[in-house]
């Protein structure tokens, strides 16, 4: 199996393998090799949580002679593909860096169009389909900063998908990693002050539960698209032992084959968690 996984790195780039669909077993997926007309079966390499810093929307739009918000709109397609990818491979958690606190510094026009996309990017039918496939969507971030115009939409999406058990999608919105750490520290300090928690009871596990993301599996993979090689205040606690991948492809141009090749590349890594 390992040899087959390694060979697939080359195959994915050479044949543009097309996806056939899940084989019905959580640890398997199938790729169709157009040259040999055969099915190749690979494992998910033990990935439970994959996180994406979805970068490059505006640069992609510029390369296409489009407006910046056209890039954000075109980024919705790869988001939906990433959800399908995770469902097909039995991945439990998908985290998407949708909007950082620093993004509030952008122009009012761009922010307005971006919020329009968030508000209308998922149709009622899309939400029903996600719920039917066991997908739960959570918006993770500084909720006091959520734009008032989006609160109703966000709450409706979270309520409609709250029973999902197959895939948790964290939409990191109005999110900042340092701010998340401060919020967790403040919460625990308040509990200590009120007598509900002793200082010596604050462990790594306790602190993790106080984070906005909660006590879910930590990211096995953190992937940044768009060519930049930094995390930009993304999950500093959670990504301590994540495998980092930086790809040149802009987010709107990400394809199913790109997601597949990332999983194959992860399998080639040797994780020692600092040992």
By CB neighbour count within 10 A (0-12 exposed, 13-18 middle, 19+ buried), where does 139 fall?
buried
Angle at 39 between CA 33 and CA 42, to 5 degrees: 100
Return the closest-CA partner of residue 27 out of 98, 89, 97: 89
- Which of 103, 116, 126, 233 does the annotation list as catalytic? 103
**Which of the following is catalytic: 44, 55, 88, 170?**
55
The secondary structure element, H or E, covering residue 50 is strand 49-53
**Buried (b) or exposed (e) across 87-106, using 16+ Cβ within 10 A?**
bbbbbbbbbbbbbbbebeee
Query: Is 55 a catalytic site residue?
Result: yes
In the chain, what's the furthest Cα-to-Cα distance?
67
DSSP state of 164: -
Q: Is 108 an annotated catalytic residue? A: no
Quote the radius of gyration of the chain (alpha carbons, Å): 19
Nearest CA to 136 out of 155, 109, 163 is that of 163
* Nearest-angstrom CA–CA distance, 122 and 128: 10
Phi, psi torsion values for 222, nearest 5 degrees? -120, 120
Q: Which residues are catalytically annotated? A: 55, 103
């Amino acid at each position: 199996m390992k040899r087959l996984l390694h060979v697939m790195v080359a195959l994915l780039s050479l044949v543009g393998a097309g996806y056939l669909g899940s084989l019905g077993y959580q640890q398997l997926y199938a790729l169709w090799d157009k040259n040999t007309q055969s099915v190749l079966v690979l494992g998910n390499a033990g990935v439970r949580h994959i996180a994406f810093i979805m970068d490059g929307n505006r640069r992609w739009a510029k390369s296409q002679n489009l407006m910046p918000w056209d890039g954000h709109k075109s980024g919705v397609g790869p988001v939906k593909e990433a959800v399908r990818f995770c469902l097909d491979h039995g991945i439990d958690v998908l985290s998407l860096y949708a909007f950082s606190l620093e993004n509030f510094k952008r122009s009012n026009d761009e922010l307005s169009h971006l919020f329009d996309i968030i508000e209308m990017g998922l149709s009622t039918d899309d939400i029903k389909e996600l719920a039917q496939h066991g997908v739960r969507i959570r918006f993770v971030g500084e909720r006091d900063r959520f734009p008032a115009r989006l609160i109703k939409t966000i709450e409706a999406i979270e309520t409609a998908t709250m029973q999902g058990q197959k895939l948790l999608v964290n939409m990191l919105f109005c999110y900042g990693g340092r701010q998340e750490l401060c919020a967790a520290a403040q919460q625990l300090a308040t509990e200590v002050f009120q007598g509900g928690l002793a200082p010596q009871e604050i462990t790594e596990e306790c602190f993790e539960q106080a984070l906005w993301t909660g006590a879910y599996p930590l990211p096995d993979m953190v992937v940044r698209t768009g060519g930049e090689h930094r995390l930009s205040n993304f999950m500093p606690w959670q990504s301590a032992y994540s495998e980092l991948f930086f790809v040149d492809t802009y987010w709107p141009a990400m394809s199913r084959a790109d997601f597949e090749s990332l999983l194959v590349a992860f399998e080639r890594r040797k994780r020692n968690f600092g040992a």
